[in-house]
C-alpha cells in the first residue's frame, strides 16, 4: 500500500494536493501528551484562542473558499458561505458552552454548597465528510476544544487539502499542533482511529453504513462518547398553496443545492393527486433552468459537480435501476461528460414502484410520489428507516401542527427547505440518521461530561442514630473471669 495520497479537482481532473498517509499511533501519542496541559488551560484562554482562529479564517477567507470550491467541485459562491459558517461557528459554540455546559452553584449556610461543572473527555477523534469538508468537522472541533479536549481529525480522503488547510488555521491562531492534529488516510486509517484504545470519544459525520460500523465497533466500550450524524431519505410533503413559484423554488433548493450532496437534501417529493399537475410541472421548468458548470464559471452556476466519477456512476446506475423497476422520468438526469462528474438535475416519478428502495441517493435526483391525501402523505413520509429532515410546503397552521406531531425527524420545517439548518439550533436525526446526539448548538453536550459536587470548606459531620451509648458503664459478664 502506498504511503502517499493524491487529491484531484472534480471539475477538471487536475491534481490539487499530494501528501502522506498519517500514522494513527504517533498521532495518539502526541494527543495524550498534550491533553492534560490543554485541559488545565482556563476556559477563557481556550475561548480566546478559538476566537483567534475565527480571525485567521477571516484573514484567509478567499484562498480558503477557492480551495473548497476546487476540491469539492461546488460553486465559489457556495464555498464562500461555507467559510463564513466556519468563522461563525466560534461565537455560536462559545454561547452554547455557557448555556449547555456552564457552571452552577447552590449555596446553603449549613449544608455547604452543591456544584455542577463539566470536564472534557480527553482525546476526541473527528471523522469529517467531503460535502462540507471545513464546516462540518469544524462543528465538532471547535466545541471540543472549548471544552478542553484535544482533537485528532481525519478528513475525508476525497478532500484532504481542505482538511489540512483548516487544521493549519488552528495552529496559526496559536493552538498547539499536538492539540489539533490532521491525520490523512482512507477507510483503514479511519478504522484504526476508531479502534484505538486511547480515544475517549468519536465524532462522526458521514453515511449510515459507516456510522453503523462505528457504532458496532464501539458498542462494547460505554466509556467512549459516540456522536453520529448520518444521512437521510428526506421527504417534502406538498399541500395546496397559491404560491406555486415559491413552492417550486423551495423544492429546488431542497433537492439540488450542493448538487444534492447534503444529508438534509430532499430525496422524495410527496404530492397529493389533486395538486400534482400544478406543482410538478413548475418544479420541472425551474430545474431545467439551473446552470451546471465548474466552480469559477461566469455566470456562477447553481450546481457544480458531484464529488467524483465513482459517485456519478453510482447515481446514474441508481436512476437506471429505478426506471427498470417502474419509475418514469419527469426530467432525465444526464451526464454531459463521461470523464467528469457533472450531472444535470433529475426528477423521476416512482409512484408505480411498489417496494421503493429506502436508500440515500446522494446527488441531484429527486423522486416524486403521488398519494391520495394528507393521511397517505404523512404515512409515506414516515416510510423510511431514516429520520433527519422533513418539510411541509403549503397547508395551514393546523396542517403543520399535525405534520410536526406525526412526522419522524429531528428537523421539521414548514414552507422552508429541508436543508440549510441553523447552527444556533440543535442538528441531528433519529433512526439511521443519528444516535440522538445532535450537533450544532448541542455539540457542547457531547464534548464534556457533567460532574456534580457537594462542597464545604471544613468537614462537618455527625451520626444522629444507631450508635451505642458510651455515657453508661459497661456491665461485665458474670463469667468474665472464669
So which residues are the catalytic ones?
Answer: 229, 263
**In the 3-class helix/strand/coil scheme, how is 285-309 assigned residue by residue?**
HHHHHCCECCCCCCCCCCECCCCCH
- Per the listing, cell 453504513 goes with 209
Query: Cα separation of 74 and 20, whole Å?
Result: 25
Beta bridge partners of 451: 117
Please choose, from the candidates 283, 358, 365, the residue with its C-alpha nearest in 3D space to the C-alpha of residue 316: 365
* Residue 406 φ/ψ region, left for φ over 0, alpha for ψ in the -120 to 50 degree band, beta for the rest: alpha
Does residue 310 sit in helix, strand or coil?
helix
Dihedral sign, Cα of residue 213, residue 218, residue 222, residue 225: negative
Query: Cα separation of 122 and 376, whole Å?
Result: 48
Instruction: State CA 113 to chain mean position distance.
Output: 38
Q: How many residues does the chain have?
A: 482
Degrees to nearest 5, angle at CA 24 with 23 and 27: 90
Query: Cα separation of 481 and 203, whole Å?
Result: 74
Query: Cα separation of 424 and 426, whole Å?
Result: 7
Query: Cα separation of 27 and 167, whole Å?
Result: 14
Amino acid at each position: 500500500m502506498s504511503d502517499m495520497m493524491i487529491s484531484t479537482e472534480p471539475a477538471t481532473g487536475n491534481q490539487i494536493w499530494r501528501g502522506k498517509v498519517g500514522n494513527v499511533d504517533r498521532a495518539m501519542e502526541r494527543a495524550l501528551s498534550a491533553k492534560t496541559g490543554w485541559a488545565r488551560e482556563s476556559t477563557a484562554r481556550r475561548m480566546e484562542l478559538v476566537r483567534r482562529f475565527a480571525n485567521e479564517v477571516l484573514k484567509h477567507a478567499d484562498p480558503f473558499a477557492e480551495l473548497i470550491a476546487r476540491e469539492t467541485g461546488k460553486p465559489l459562491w457556495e464555498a464562500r458561505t461555507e467559510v463564513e459558517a466556519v468563522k461563525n461557528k466560534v461565537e455560536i459554540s462559545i454561547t452554547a458552552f455557557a448555556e449547555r455546559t456552564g457552571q452552577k452553584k447552590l449555596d446553603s449556610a449549613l449544608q455547604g454548597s452543591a456544584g455542577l461543572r463539566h470536564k472534557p473527555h480527553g482525546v476526541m477523534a473527528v471523522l469529517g465528510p467531503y460535502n462540507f469538508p471545513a464546516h462540518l468537522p469544524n462543528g465538532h472541533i471547535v466545541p471540543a476544544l472549548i471544552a478542553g479536549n484535544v482533537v485528532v481529525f481525519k478528513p475525508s480522503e476525497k478532500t484532504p487539502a481542505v482538511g489540512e488547510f483548516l487544521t493549519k488555521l488552528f495552529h496559526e491562531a496559536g493552538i498547539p499542533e499536538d492539540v489539533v492534529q490532521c491525520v490523512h488516510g482512507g477507510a483503514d486509517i479511519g478504522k484504526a482511529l476508531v479502534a484505538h484504545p486511547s480515544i475517549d470519544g468519536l465524532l462522526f459525520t458521514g453515511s449510515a453504513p459507516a456510522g453503523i460500523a462505528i457504532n458496532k465497533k464501539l458498542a462494547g466500550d460505554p466509556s467512549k462518547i459516540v456522536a453520529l450524524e448520518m444521512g437521510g431519505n428526506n421527504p417534502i410533503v406538498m399541500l395546496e398553496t397559491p404560491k406555486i413559484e415559491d413552492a417550486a423554488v423551495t423544492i429546488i433548493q431542497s433537492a439540488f443545492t450542493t448538487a444534492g450532496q447534503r444529508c438534509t437534501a430532499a430525496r422524495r417529493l410527496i404530492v397529493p393527486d389533486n395538486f400534482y399537475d400544478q406543482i410538478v410541472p413548475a418544479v420541472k421548468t425551474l430545474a431545467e433552468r439551473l446552470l451546471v458548470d465548474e466552480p469559477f464559471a461566469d455566470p456562477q452556476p447553481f450546481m457544480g459537480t458531484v464529488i467524483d466519477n465513482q459517485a456519478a456512476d453510482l447515481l446514474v446506475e441508481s436512476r437506471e435501476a429505478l426506471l427498470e423497476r417502474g419509475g418514469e422520468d419527469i426530467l432525465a438526469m444526464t451526464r454531459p461528460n463521461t470523464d467528469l462528474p457533472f450531472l444535470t438535475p433529475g426528477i423521476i416519478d416512482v409512484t408505480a414502484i411498489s417496494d421503493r428502495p429506502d436508500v440515500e441517493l446522494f446527488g441531484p435526483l429527486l423522486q416524486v410520489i403521488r398519494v391520495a391525501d394528507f393521511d397517505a402523505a404523512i404515512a409515506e413520509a414516515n416510510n423510511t428507516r431514516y429520520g433527519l429532515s422533513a418539510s411541509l410546503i403549503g397547508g395551514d397552521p393546523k396542517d403543520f401542527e399535525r405534520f410536526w406531531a406525526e412526522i419522524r425527524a429531528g428537523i421539521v420545517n414548514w414552507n422552508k427547505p429541508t436543508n440549510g439548518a441553523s447552527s444556533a439550533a440543535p442538528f441531528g436525526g433519529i433512526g439511521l440518521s443519528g444516535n440522538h446526539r445532535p450537533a450544532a448548538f448541542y455539540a457542547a453536550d457531547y464534548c464534556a461530561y457533567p460532574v456534580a459536587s457537594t462542597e464545604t470548606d471544613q468537614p462537618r459531620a455527625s451520626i444522629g442514630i444507631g450508635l451505642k451509648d458510651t455515657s453508661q458503664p459497661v456491665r461485665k459478664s458474670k463469667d468474665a473471669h472464669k
